[in-house]
Structure 1
Amino acid sequence: MARAKTSTEREQWSGQTGFILAAIGSAVGLGNIWRFPGVAYENGGGAFLVPYVIALLVIGIPVLFFDYALGHRFRGSAPTVFRRLTRRAEALGWFQVGISIVIILYYTVIIAWALSFVWFSVEQTWGDDAAGFFTNDFLRTSAEPGIGLDVVPGVFWPLVGTWVVTLGILALGVQKGLERSNVIFLPLLVVLFAALVVRALFLDGATDGLNAFFTPDWSALLHPGVWIAAVAHIFFSLSIAFGIMVTYSSYLKRRSNLTSSGLVVAFSNSSFEILAGVGVFATLGFMAHQQGVGVDDLEGLTGPTLSFSTFPQIISAMPGGSFFGVLFFLSLAVAGLTSLLSLLQVVSAAFQEKFGWDPRQAALRVGGIAAVISILLFSTTTALHVLDVLDKWANEVGVITSAVVMTALVAWRLRLLPQLRWHLNAVSSTRIGVWWVYVVGVVVPLVIGYMLVSGVWMLITEGYDGYPLWFRLVFGWGAIAFMVVFAVIMTKVRWAKDPDDFVPWPPLPEGGLTTKEVRS
Structure 2
Amino acid sequence: MAEKREVWGSRRGFIFAAVGAAIGLGNLWRFPFQAYRNGGGAFFLPYIVALFTCAIPLMILEYTYGRKVRGGSTKAFKLLGKKYEWIGWLQVMVPIIVMMFYSTIISISVIFMVWSLGHAFGIINWMSDPGKIMGMIVGGGAGPFDFAAGISKYLLGFVIIVWVGNWWIVKNGVSKGIERASKIFTPLLMVMMIAFMINSIRLNGATLGLNELFTPDFNKILNPSIWVAAYAQVFFSTTLAVGVMIAYGSYLGEDWDIVNSAFITVFSNASFDIIAGITVFSTLGYLVHNMGVDFNSFGSGAGIAFIAFPIAVSTITTNTFLQGIIGFLFFFCLFIAGLSSSISMLESFSAAALDKFDIKRERLVGIISIVGFLGSACFATYAGFNYILDIVDAHVGQYIIATLGLIETILVSYIYGIEKIRVDANEHSDFKVGKIFNFLLKYLTPAMLGITVITNLIGGFKKLVELNTTDKVAFMGQIVFGWGTILLMVIFATIFFKKQWKSSKEEG
Give the equivalent residue in structure 2 for 1:36. Answer: 31
1-structure distance, mates of 2:435, 2:504: 34
Give the equivalent residue in structure 1 for 2:499. Answer: 493
1:477 offset after TM fit, Å? 0.7
The amino acid of 1:332's aligned partner reads L
The alignment status of 1:477 with 2:487, answered yes or no, reads no
Give the equivalent residue in structure 2 for 1:20. Answer: 15
Query: What SS is found at the alignment partner of 2:437?
Result: helix
The alignment status of 1:98 with 2:90, answered yes or no, reads no
1:255 offset after TM fit, Å? 1.4
Q: Within 5 Å, which residues of 2 pair with 1:128-139? A: 129-134=129-134, 136-139=135-138
The alignment status of 1:313 with 2:308, answered yes or no, reads no
Q: Within 5 Å, which residues of 2 pair with 1:73-222? A: 73-122=68-117, 123=119, 125-126=125-126, 129-134=129-134, 136-146=135-145, 148=147, 150-222=150-222
- The counterpart of 1:69, out of the listed 52, 61, 64, is 64
Give the equivalent residue in structure 1 for 2:440. Answer: 439
Give the equivalent residue in structure 1 for 2:460. Answer: 459
> Are 2:27 and 2:272, in contact at CA under 8 Å, matched by a contact in 1?
yes
Deviation by residue 1:231-265 (Cα, 9 ceiling, x = unmatched): 00101111112211000000011111100111111
Query: Identity over aligned residues, as a percent?
Result: 33
> Are 1:142 and 1:381, in contact at CA under 8 Å, matched by a contact in 2?
yes
Structure 2: where are the runs of 5+ without partners?
none
Deviation by residue 1:164-205 (Cα, 9 ceiling, x = unmatched): 121111111111110011011112212221221222122111
The amino acid of 1:52's aligned partner reads Y
Give the equivalent residue in structure 2 for 1:406. Answer: 408
1-structure distance, mates of 2:125, 2:54: 44
Query: What SS is found at the alignment partner of 2:221?
Result: helix
How large is the RMSD of aligned CA atoms in angstroms?
2.1
The amino acid of 1:38's aligned partner reads F
Indicate the larger mover: 149-158 or 277-286.
149-158
Indicate the larger mover: 110-119 or 366-375.
366-375
Give the equivalent residue in structure 1 for 2:358. Answer: 356
Aligned length in residues? 493
> Are 1:12 and 1:251, in contact at CA under 8 Å, matched by a contact in 2?
yes
Identify if the C-alpha distance between structure 1 residues 129 and 143 changes in structure 2 by more than 3 Å, giving closer, same or farther: farther
Deviation by residue 1:119-158 (Cα, 9 ceiling, x = unmatched): 2234275465433432x31111213222626222111110
2-structure distance, mates of 1:495, 1:366: 19
Give the equivalent residue in structure 1 for 2:50. Answer: 55
> Are 1:193 and 1:327, in contact at CA under 8 Å, matched by a contact in 2?
no
1:308 offset after TM fit, Å? 1.8
Deviation by residue 1:390-417 (Cα, 9 ceiling, x = unmatched): 11111111101101111122234x1511
The amino acid of 2:140's aligned partner reads T
Give the equivalent residue in structure 2 for 1:512. Answer: none
The amino acid of 1:39's aligned partner reads Q
Indicate the larger mover: 175-184 or 309-318.
309-318
> Are 1:39 and 1:302, in contact at CA under 8 Å, matched by a contact in 2?
no
The amino acid of 1:227's aligned partner reads W
Query: What SS is found at the alignment partner of 2:298?
Result: coil
Could you state the TM-score of these two structures normalised by the residue count of structure 1? 0.90
The amino acid of 2:304's aligned partner reads L
Query: What SS is found at the alignment partner of 1:9?
Result: coil
1:292 offset after TM fit, Å? 3.5
Structure 1: where are the runs of 5+ without partners?
503-520
Q: Within 5 Å, which residues of 2 pair with 1:270-285? A: 270-285=270-285
The amino acid of 2:68's aligned partner reads R
Give the equivalent residue in structure 2 for 1:374. Answer: 376
Give the equivalent residue in structure 1 for 2:251. Answer: 251
1-structure distance, mates of 2:130, 2:395: 28
1:288 offset after TM fit, Å? 0.9
Indicate the larger mover: 14-23 or 420-429.
420-429
Give the equivalent residue in structure 1 for 2:385. Answer: 383
Indicate the larger mover: 145-154 or 45-54.
145-154
1:23 offset after TM fit, Å? 0.3
Query: What SS is found at the alignment partner of 1:251?
Result: coil
2-structure distance, mates of 1:309, 1:500: 51
The alignment status of 1:234 with 2:240, answered yes or no, reads no
Could you state the TM-score of these two structures normalised by the residue count of structure 2? 0.92
Identify if the C-alpha distance between structure 1 residues 323 and 199 changes in structure 2 by more than 3 Å, giving closer, same or farther: farther
- The counterpart of 2:333, out of the listed 318, 331, 334, is 331
Give the equivalent residue in structure 1 for 2:297. Answer: 299
